[in-house]
């Protein structure tokens, strides 16, 4: 009987736990740092409401990190992740769009042309995740997966005006952003919600499986490090209710997300040897953990427009041009002030994640290094000009006027934010790839019995938001671990 210990019951962890434990020949234990509820009805209403992001200052289900978005002088920000069953998938915007054919071509190039992560090989896994309520009958969609996917049929006035402005500017209309050949243009966002409820990975996958005798799930249990015998991972140390403990396992899978999976590897001795030694951490294996952090920089344009704001998902429609996504948020973050997000989806600049200390309670240092590469700044300048044109067509007035192109760099920094789509901290690649931490089956190079299955393994920036892809990665890893 195979025995798997999963660390982190977030987006990937919920999918993996359900899929692995569907086979009675596997015992699965899942340790999650945040709270666990046994049923959807027991969950707080804020976590179910698809029309709001439950990430306010009072929210008790978050990890919060102080980060540096750009340097010279530093642009600082606070980012969050879900610390709750379902992880970031329990608190996110519900945008459920697949990565593109071009993304998987780039991913396959990193793997030396292997087709393990080609678009054709992952398409059936995307289909397995979803129950597409609009296009389920199409051959590139699923109609029976655990996650319902739906597009708004009655868009809010701001979304409708934005679409009109895009079409009037000559952009194409994209009927299905999840079609393999979706192309560029404006389209309605597929969302993982149903009847106004966010259907994330815990509701869709994990909770229905909780009664299985071969699945054990513990909430409020924070794993502090992985234990090794030589280079074999044999267990994890954890803290629960202030008490320390150890769980032993045949196989350990980290699903703690792009920040905490990397931090766990580093605290356990897998990372840059000089950095680890400087913190007093014994080195198990040298690896570039945290060296290639990627995310989607977003420049926010606040604008004024008097419109009704019916309750809806935060983002109903997007415009995709080249590798830029323009997002007319349908909910106001400040009353009466709307926001247009201008987002670079395949930035060249990448950042780093490092430990400050070996203490598991010390948050790692995250330096995004956004806007370091001139091509990133150039593409954002062009994209902001495009967004400004769309706002003029909508008769909307930016609160902070968009300056002339020559003065735009300072304005970009002043309005810089992030999409909170961190990836790449434990990159996938071949054994001889100096940037690689895991192999194409998500197994950590240089050790045995340890894998990472979450967004940290993605080796290229993705042209779309990541949650659908995170679930797909976990579906693929589950199939590999079951075989």
Ligand X SMILES: Cc1cc2nc3c(=O)[nH]c(=O)nc-3n(C[C@H](O)[C@H](O)[C@H](O)COP(=O)(O)OP(=O)(O)OC[C@H]3O[C@@H](n4cnc5c(N)ncnc54)[C@H](O)[C@@H]3O)c2cc1C
Active site residues: 421
Q: Indicate whether 67 belongs to the interface with ligand X (CB under 6 A).
A: no
Q: Indicate whether 297 belongs to the interface with ligand X (CB under 6 A).
A: no
How far apart, in whole angstroms, are the C-alpha atoms of residue 71 and residue 86?
33
Residue among 69, 177, 203, 256 that touches ligand X (CB under 6 A): 256
The separation between the first and the last C-alpha atoms of the chain, rounded to the nearest angstrom, is 13
The strand pair at 450-452 and 251-254 is best described as parallel
Selected range binding ligand X among 21-29, 82-90, 149-157, 405-413, rule: CB under 6 A: 82-90
Residue among 4, 5, 6, 12 that touches ligand X (CB under 6 A): 12
How far apart, in whole angstroms, are the C-alpha atoms of residue 222 and residue 359?
13
Q: Indicate whether 466 belongs to the interface with ligand X (CB under 6 A).
A: yes
Residue among 132, 176, 260, 320 that touches ligand X (CB under 6 A): 260
Q: Indicate whether 377 belongs to the interface with ligand X (CB under 6 A).
A: no
How many CA atoms, within 13 angstroms, populate the side-chain half-sphere of residue 194? Answer: 13
Q: Indicate whether 387 belongs to the interface with ligand X (CB under 6 A).
A: no
Residue among 150, 223, 287, 412 that touches ligand X (CB under 6 A): 223
Tracing tokens 């309605």 back to the chain, one arrives at: 188
Residue nearest to ligand X (CB): 10
Comparison of 10 and 297: residue with beta carbon closer to ligand X: 10
Q: Indicate whether 95 belongs to the interface with ligand X (CB under 6 A).
A: yes
Residue 457 gets the label, from left (phi > 0), alpha (psi -120 to 50) or beta, of: alpha
Residue 404, φ and ψ in degrees, nearest 5: -65, 155
Four-point Cα dihedral 421, 482, 111, 297, nearest 10:
0
Residue 193, SS3 per DSSP: strand
Residue among 20, 31, 43, 123 that touches ligand X (CB under 6 A): 31
How far apart, in whole angstroms, are the C-alpha atoms of residue 140 and residue 400?
43
- Report yes or no: 369 and 349 within 8 Å, Cβ to Cβ: yes
Q: Indicate whether 10 belongs to the interface with ligand X (CB under 6 A).
A: yes
Cα Rg of the chain (Å, integer): 22
For 285-330, the DSSP string reads: EE--TTSSBB--EEEEEEEE------S--S--EEEEETTEEEEE-S
Q: How many CB atoms lie within 10 A of CB 405?
A: 12
Q: Indicate whether 454 belongs to the interface with ligand X (CB under 6 A).
A: yes
Q: Indicate whether 197 belongs to the interface with ligand X (CB under 6 A).
A: no
Comparison of 83 and 339: residue with beta carbon closer to ligand X: 83
Q: Number of residues in contact with ligand X, rule: CB under 6 A?
A: 41
- Please name the residues in contact with 279: beta carbons below 8 A apart, sequence gap of 6 or more: 355, 357, 358
Selected range binding ligand X among 18-26, 107-115, 249-257, 270-278, rule: CB under 6 A: 249-257
Q: Indicate whether 329 belongs to the interface with ligand X (CB under 6 A).
A: no
Beta carbon of residue 468, minimum distance to ligand X (angstroms, whole number): 6
Selected range binding ligand X among 76-84, 137-145, 175-183, 426-434, rule: CB under 6 A: 76-84
Which tokens belong to 308?
């009704």
Residue among 9, 142, 190, 449 that touches ligand X (CB under 6 A): 9
Residue among 420, 437, 443, 459 that touches ligand X (CB under 6 A): 420
Residue 346, strand partner residues: none
Q: Indicate whether 91 belongs to the interface with ligand X (CB under 6 A).
A: yes
- Report yes or no: 312 and 335 within 8 Å, Cβ to Cβ: no
Residue 106, φ and ψ in degrees, nearest 5: -65, -40
Beta carbon of residue 363, minimum distance to ligand X (angstroms, whole number): 11
Comparison of 267 and 377: residue with beta carbon closer to ligand X: 267
Comparison of 296 and 443: residue with beta carbon closer to ligand X: 296
- Report yes or no: 270 and 447 within 8 Å, Cβ to Cβ: yes
Residue among 80, 218, 321, 373 that touches ligand X (CB under 6 A): 80
Q: Indicate whether 346 belongs to the interface with ligand X (CB under 6 A).
A: no
Beta-strand runs (E) in 201-310: 215-218, 221-229, 232-240, 243-248, 251-254, 270-271, 285-286, 297-304
Q: Indicate whether 461 belongs to the interface with ligand X (CB under 6 A).
A: no
Residues that bind ligand X (CB under 6 A): 7-13, 31-34, 53, 55, 80-83, 87-89, 91-95, 222-223, 255-258, 260, 264, 420-421, 454-455, 465-467, 470
């Amino acid at each position: 009987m195979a025995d798997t210990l999963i660390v982190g019951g977030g987006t990937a962890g919920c999918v993996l736990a359900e899929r692995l434990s569907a086979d009675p020949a596997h015992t699965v234990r899942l340790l999650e740092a945040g709270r666990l509820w046994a049923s959807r009805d027991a969950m707080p209403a804020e976590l179910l409401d698809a029309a709001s992001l439950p990430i306010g200052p009072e929210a008790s289900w978050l990890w919060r990190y102080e980060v540096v978005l750009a340097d010279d002088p530093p642009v600082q920000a606070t980012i969050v992740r879900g610390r709750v069953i379902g992880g970031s998938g329990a608190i996110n915007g519900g945008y459920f769009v697949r990565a593109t054919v071009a993304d998987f071509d780039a991913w396959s190039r990193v793997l030396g042309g292997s087709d393990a992560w080609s678009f054709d090989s992952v398409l059936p896994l995307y289909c397995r995740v979803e129950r597409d309520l609009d296009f389920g009958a199409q051959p590139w969609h699923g109609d029976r997966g655990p996650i319902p996917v739906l597009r708004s049929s009655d868009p809010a006035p701001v979304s409708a005006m934005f679409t009109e402005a895009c079409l009037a500017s000559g952009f194409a209309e994209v009927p299905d952003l999840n079609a393999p050949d979706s192309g560029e243009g404006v389209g309605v966002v597929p969302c993982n919600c149903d009847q106004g409820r966010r259907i994330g990975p815990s509701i869709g996958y994990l909770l229905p499986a909780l009664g299985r005798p071969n699945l054990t799930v513990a909430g409020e249990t924070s794993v502090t490090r992985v234990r090794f015998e030589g280079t074999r991972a044999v267990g994890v140390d954890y803290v629960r209710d202030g008490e320390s403990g150890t769980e032993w396992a045949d196989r350990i899978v980290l699903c703690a997300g792009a920040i905490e999976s990397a931090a766990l590897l580093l605290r356990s001795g897998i990372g840059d040897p000089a950095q680890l030694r400087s913190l007093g951490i014994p080195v198990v294996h040298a690896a570039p953990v945290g060296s290639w952090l990627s995310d989607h920089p977003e420049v926010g344009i606040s604008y004024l427009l008097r419109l009704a704001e019916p309750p809806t998902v935060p983002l109903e429609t997007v415009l995709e041009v080249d590798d830029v996504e323009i997002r007319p948020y349908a909910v106001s973050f400040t009353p009466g002030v709307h926001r247009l997000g201008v987002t670079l989806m395949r930035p060249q600049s990448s950042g780093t994640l490092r430990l400050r200390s070996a203490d598991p309670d010390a948050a790692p240092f995250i330096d995004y290094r956004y806007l370091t590469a001139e091509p990133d700044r150039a593409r954002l300048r062009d994209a902001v000009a495009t967004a400004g044109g769309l706002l003029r067509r909508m008769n909307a007035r930016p609160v902070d006027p968009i300056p002339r192109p020559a003065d735009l760099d300072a304005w970009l920094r002043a309005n810089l934010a992030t999409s909170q789509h961190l990836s790449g901290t434990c990159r996938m690649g071949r054994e001889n790839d100096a940037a690689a931490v895991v192999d194409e089956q998500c197994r950590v190079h240089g050790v045995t019995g340890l894998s990472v299955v979450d967004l940290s393994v993605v080796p290229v920036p993705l042209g779309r938001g990541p949650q659908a892809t995170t679930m797909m990665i976990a579906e693929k890893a589950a199939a590999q671990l079951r075989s």
